[in-house]
Amino acid sequence: MTTTIKQPTSEISSSLQATSPNESVATMSNFANLAELPLVLKKAICAFAGYYNGQLHRFVITDTGELTLKKVTTDKADKKPNNLILIVARPFYSEQARSYPIDNKKELKKLLALEADSSSNAEDVIFHHWPSNKANDDKGNSQSQINLWQFSKQVPNAFLRLPETLLLALTCKKNQVLALTTDSEADSDGNSNGNKDKAELYLTRSNSSVYSLTKTSVINSVQRFAMSVGIAQSKSTNVIANKNLATQLALGCKSLTLPLITSFIQKPKVADRLQLLKNTAIPLLLVLAVYLASTSAYLVYKENSLQQQLANQSSDVSAALTQQVNVDKQLSRYQTLQGFVATQRNTAYLWLVMAKLLPQAQFTNVRITGERYVLRGKATKATDLLELLSVNQAVKGAKFDFPVRKNRGQESFVISFELIADESLITIEKTLKNEQLLEKTAEKELNHART
């Protein structure tokens, strides 16, 4: 079930005229609800918002810091407002308030879509679902309050078109009537100069919905408007003079919520979508083409530059690679030899010990068994060899492995021993070098004496 607010009939007018003229309405003519607007908000509204009442107006800040509306002229020096937000006057849109016994938003949207399909101008209708009253929900009276607006074809396009009655209703309290007059001044009854009601528009908020009616021969006072929309006699009336309209609209903009704003953002039509797609796709494709062309050109230049550098350095690179191959071969050979030497025993110091034994004996065999060196040979006296080994500082554990045998004045022996630290062998090496040097010096002196 829906409830639509329309102009009342002649039958309603008789009941409205029965209202006692002595019943007064409390007013707020001093605009106590007009709080001081921040300067940032004023500048934002002046930059992005406009007002349309048959002619386009823009918001300006006066020398006293107040907002006012200024008509946009054809003069080139007159700056036109941006079409981001456009506030539309009441004569240029229709407004309806409906109530549905449905509290489910999805079901409500389906119902509104069905009603919209039956209308030829369905795509131009804007609706907003107001939050439900918790008190009514608790009582089981679940109702969905809907406001519908439909703008006139002559209203200029804008990103966000807002009805002025919505913004003005956001500034008044519940069941408070707001009267808009075209005069610059208004008294406490909504009258101009205290003579006659000069209000041109009445609006209020009741049951979370916005109700508004323009002045007619029947609806010509606040009391009659209040009765026509089904609210109790208003005890508080806010009269808006024409000079304060801009400030009141700015206060309404300040009270806008995100759900309200999203309700007035319309989806583009199919033709508009195709045009929007063309308008956005062509620049994007151009940017992409320029990017790909510049990237390809850079890559080609980089490739040619690298090839030129490689050609200039090819000889140096070849020489370096050849030298690297030779170094790798030498390193591999060195590592192989180093591994082989590590597995071998150093027997050089054995011959330092053998140097003193060679004049005393004839050796037939020298073997290495474990850590011991085994000498086999013949000598005139084998015990002298064993004594020489025993007194040698680089030898330890010298002994006969087998008994000594005598044959034709010679003794056959098998002697084994171990070498001690390298320091003793180094000392022996130095001693042998000194002895050899002394022998050579003695031979030279002997030869010199003979000559």
φ, ψ for residue 102, nearest 5 deg: -130, 125
Q: What one-letter code names the amino acid at 451?
A: T
Q: Which of 209, 239, 266 represents a domain boundary (last residue)?
A: 266
- Give backbone dihedrals phi and psi of 2, rounded to 5 degrees, phi first: -120, 150
**Pair 130, 215 in one domain:** yes
Q: Looking at 214, 247, 266, which one is the last position of a domain?
A: 266
Instruction: For residues 139 and 255, state if they share a domain.
Output: yes
Distance, in Å, from the CA atom of 384 to the CA atom of 381, rounded to the nearest integer, reads 6
> Is there a single domain that holds both residue 338 and residue 356?
no
Q: What is the dihedral of CA 38, 42, 43, 45, to 10 degrees?
A: 140
Neighbours of 201 (CB within 10 A): 21
Domain co-membership, 94 together with 239? yes
SS3 for 388?
A: helix
Pairwise CA distance, residues 227 & 219, whole Å: 10
Residues 322 and 377 in one domain: no
| Spatial CB neighbours of 310, under 8 Å, sequence gap ≥ 6 | 317
User: Which domain-ending residue is among 310, 342, 374?
Assistant: 342
Local confidence pLDDT in tens for the 451 residues of the chain = 344 433 333 333 333 343 333 333 333 333 434 446 788 888 898 888 999 988 899 899 988 888 889 888 876 656 666 668 899 999 999 998 888 888 777 787 788 777 766 665 555 778 888 877 655 555 556 778 888 898 988 888 888 899 999 999 888 887 788 888 876 555 544 444 444 556 788 888 887 788 888 888 888 888 888 888 887 765 677 788 888 888 889 998 888 888 888 888 876 555 566 777 777 888 899 999 999 999 999 999 999 998 888 888 888 878 888 899 999 999 999 998 888 877 776 777 788 888 888 888 999 999 988 888 999 999 988 898 899 888 888 888 999 999 999 888 889 999 999 887 555 556 666 777 777 788 888 888 877 777 6
My answer on whether 297 and 314 are in the same domain is yes
Same domain for 222 and 196: yes
**Which residues neighbour 135 within 8 Å (Cβ) at sequence distance 6 or greater?**
none
Q: Which amino acid is at 186?
A: A
**How far apart (Å, rounded) are the C-alpha atoms in residues 46 and 242?**
18
Kindly report the CATH number assigned to the domain that includes residue 385.
3.30.1360.100
Report how far residue 46's alpha carbon sits from residue 249's, in angstroms, rounded to the nearest whole number: 12
**Pairing between β-strand 177-181 and β-strand 237-240 as defined by DSSP bridges:** parallel
Q: Is residue 297 assigned to a domain?
A: yes
Q: Note whether 76 and 171 are same-domain residues.
A: yes
The confidence score (pLDDT) of residue 267 equals: 64
Is 354 among the domain residues? yes
Residue 103: CB atoms within 10 A of its CB come to 14
Q: The domain containing residue 60 runs over which residues?
A: 18-266
Nearest in space to 83 (alpha carbons), one of 172, 162, 188: 162
Residues 94 and 225 reside in one and the same domain? yes
Kindly give, in sequence order, each residue whose CB lies less than 8 Å from that of residue 235, ignoring residues fewer than 6 positions away.
Answer: 25, 26
Dihedral sign (CA 267, 270, 271, 277): positive
In this structure, the answer to whether residues 27 and 162 fall within a common structural domain is yes
Nearest-angstrom CA–CA distance, 18 and 316: 113
Whether residue 247 sits in one domain with residue 192: yes
Nearest CA among 244, 336, 258 for reference residue 33: 244
In the numeric block, the tokens 């490739």 are attached to 303
- At 343 the pLDDT is 77
CA–CA separation, 68 and 244 (whole Å):
7
Residue 1 inside a domain? The answer is no
Round to whole Å and give the CA distance between 332 and 427. Answer: 36
Q: Is residue 11 part of a domain?
A: no
Beta strands in 370-409 (DSSP E): 372-379, 395-400, 405-407
Is residue 445 domain-shared with residue 300, that is, in the same domain? no
**Is residue 3 in some structural domain?**
no
Distance CA 386, CA 399 (A): 7
Taking the model in full, what pTM does it have? 0.52
What pLDDT score was predicted for residue 128? 84
The Cα 256–Cα 245 span in angstroms is 17
> What is the sign of the dihedral through the CA atoms of 348, 354, 359 and 361?
negative
Place of tokens 């009514």: 136
Q: Which residues contact 430 (CB under 8 A, 6 or more apart)?
A: none
Q: Which tokens hold the place of 274?
A: 């195709």
CB 180 within 8 A of CB 168: yes
Q: How many domains does the chain have?
A: 3
